[in-house]
């Protein structure tokens, strides 16, 4: 679910950041096996209702103010959503802590096993003996 939300967020950001499609009066040939470029509108002049950056920021600020006032208009929904968010945070903290404890125990076991294996290999190695010299 979080993947879908993240993907939708980034696709929306990309849609806002990509430049607008150009307008052409001459029709273009279809490309890629019959698919026409849907972003180009044939035979129509550019729209006059394009907004600038300052107007977009003003609209975004007004939308943010409207969202911030949601709890004032709908206190019962906000109260329930706060309870749900609190529950999710408690569950995340609890199970995140459990996962951290489990990972720490596994890391200690692995470290203990590797230390024990190194000590076992040192006991198996024979004492160093001089190598015979060639030709002697």
The Cα 88–Cα 82 span in angstroms is: 10
56-114 pLDDT tens trace: 889 989 998 888 888 889 899 989 989 998 998 999 999 999 999 999 999 999 998 88
Domain ranges of the chain: 75-124
Helix (H) or strand (E) holding 95, with range, is helix 75-124
Q: Give the 3-state secondary structure of residue 59.
A: helix
pTM: 0.38
The Cα 67–Cα 32 span in angstroms is: 43
Task: State the average pLDDT for the chain.
Answer: 76
- Tell me, what's the pLDDT at 125? 56
Q: Which residue has the higher pLDDT, 79 or 123?
A: 79
- Report CA torsion sign: 104, 109, 114, 116: positive
7-57 pLDDT tens trace: 888 888 887 777 665 555 555 555 555 545 555 555 555 556 777 888 888
Counted residue by residue, the chain has a size of 136
């Amino acid at each position: 679910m979080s993947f879908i939300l993240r993907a939708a967020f980034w696709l929306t950001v990309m849609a806002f950041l990509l430049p607008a499609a150009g307008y052409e009066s001459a029709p273009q040939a279809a490309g890629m096996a019959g698919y026409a470029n849907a972003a180009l509108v044939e035979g129509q002049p550019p729209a006059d209702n394009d907004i600038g950056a300052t107007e977009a920021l003003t609209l975004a600020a007004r939308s943010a103010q409207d969202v911030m006032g949601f709890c004032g208009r709908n206190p019962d929904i906000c109260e329930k959503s706060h309870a749900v968010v609190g529950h999710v945070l408690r569950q995340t903290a609890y199970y995140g802590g459990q996962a951290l404890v489990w990972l720490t125990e596994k890391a200690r076991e692995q470290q203990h096993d590797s230390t024990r294996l190194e000590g076992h290999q040192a006991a198996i190695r024979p004492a160093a003996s001089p190598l015979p010299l060639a030709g002697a």
